């Protein structure tokens, strides 16, 4: 199973939107997809309609529940999800007080390696116990950025943390920066050009701004289902193909 952490230390860069729509595109291509919500805001959990009365990632990190069958909820459409809730906010304090293992997410992924093809981890906009655990578990990191200095700075800081975790997870690599909410304005084009001049890998695909993205959140549907011809829907389709090509698996 290939595990991808979707992360930026700045909020509002389309991390959850990317997780939802990349998962839908991968499912469309027959991939078995596991989503892990590592954000206490639990937007991914809410979007996918998961049950938060069941065990969540907080229980996994605190080792209150380590049985995969109890943690992973099977959703319509073939997705699996490990949900989140606000109790995840308490995990950082617990990690300091009790020394929580940050390998629990990695252990879960290893246990599910034969059940799923891809795992997408939606990370919080902060460097927490959950985000560290996600990076320890991941093979690759995707860094969504809007073209502003704060988002770009947040992505650069994550790259530094990836390098710091090399001794714990030497296989981890930055797959690339993903420019999101792009529109044909001079500031966006100049910002994208600045991103591509950074000493960072940058994905070829750019996700265009579309009002259909916000509408789809109310409908709780991925863009492929809600508005398949919207600009952002086509872009997420391209993103999926770009990743599959990189993995040697693109079938068009």
Give residue-wise pLDDT tens across range 190-226. 778 878 887 888 999 999 999 999 999 999 999 999 9
SS3 percent helix, strand, coil of the chain, rounded to 5, is 45, 15, 35
Rounded Cα distance, 101 and 162, in Å: 18
**In which band, very low, low, confident or very high, does the pLDDT at 98 lie, cut at 50, 70 and 90?**
low
Radius of gyration of the chain (CA): 17
How far is the C-alpha of 109 from the C-alpha of 82, rounded, in Å? 11
- Report pTM: 0.93
Exposed/middle/buried for 167, CB within 10 Å: 0-12, 13-18, 19+? exposed
**pLDDT recorded at residue 221:** 95
More confident site: 39 or 146? 39
Mean pLDDT, the chain, whole residue set: 89
Q: What is the pLDDT of residue 232?
A: 96
Return d(Cα 32, Cα 75) in angstroms, integer: 12
Instruction: Give me the sign of the Cα torsion angle 197, 159, 146, 34.
Output: positive
Where is average pLDDT lowest: 67-81, 106-120, 220-234? 67-81
Lowest-confidence segment of 90-99, 168-177, 205-214 by average pLDDT: 90-99
CA dist 95 and 111 (Å) reads: 23
CA–CA gap between residue 125 and residue 121 (Å, rounded) = 13
- Nearest by Cα to 153 from 200, 84, 218: 200
Q: What strand order describes the sheet that includes 118-122? A: 73-74, 80-82, 33-37, 118-122, 2-6, 140-145, 173-182, 202-208
């Amino acid at each position: 199973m290939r595990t991808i952490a979707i992360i930026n230390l700045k909020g509002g860069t389309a991390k959850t939107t990317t997780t939802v729509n990349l998962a839908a595109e991968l499912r469309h291509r027959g991939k078995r997809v596991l989503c892990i919500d590592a954000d206490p805001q639990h937007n991914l959990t809410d979007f996918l309609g998961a049950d938060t009365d069941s065990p969540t990632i907080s229980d996994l990190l605190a080792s209150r529940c380590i049985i995969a069958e109890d943690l992973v909820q099977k959703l319509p459409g073939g997705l699996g999800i490990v949900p989140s809730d606000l109790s995840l906010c308490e995990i950082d304090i617990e990690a300091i007080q009790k020394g929580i293992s940050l390998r629990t997410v990695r252990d879960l992924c290893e246990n599910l390696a034969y059940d799923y093809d891809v795992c997408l981890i939606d990370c919080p906009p902060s460097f927490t116990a959950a985000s560290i655990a996600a990076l320890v578990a991941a093979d690759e990191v995707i860094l969504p950025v809007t073209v502003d200095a704060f988002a770009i700075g947040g992505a650069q800081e994550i790259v530094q943390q990836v390098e710091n975790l090399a001794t714990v997870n030497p296989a981890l690599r930055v797959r690339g920066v993903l420019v999101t909410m792009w529109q044909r304005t001079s500031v966006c084009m100049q910002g994208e050009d600045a991103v591509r001049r950074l000493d960072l890998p940058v994905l070829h695909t750019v996700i265009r701004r579309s009002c259909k993205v916000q509408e789809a959140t109310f409908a709780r549907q991925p863009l492929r289902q809600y508005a398949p011809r919207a600009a952002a829907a086509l872009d997420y389709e391209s993103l999926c193909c770009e990743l599959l090509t990189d993995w040697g698996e693109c079938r068009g």
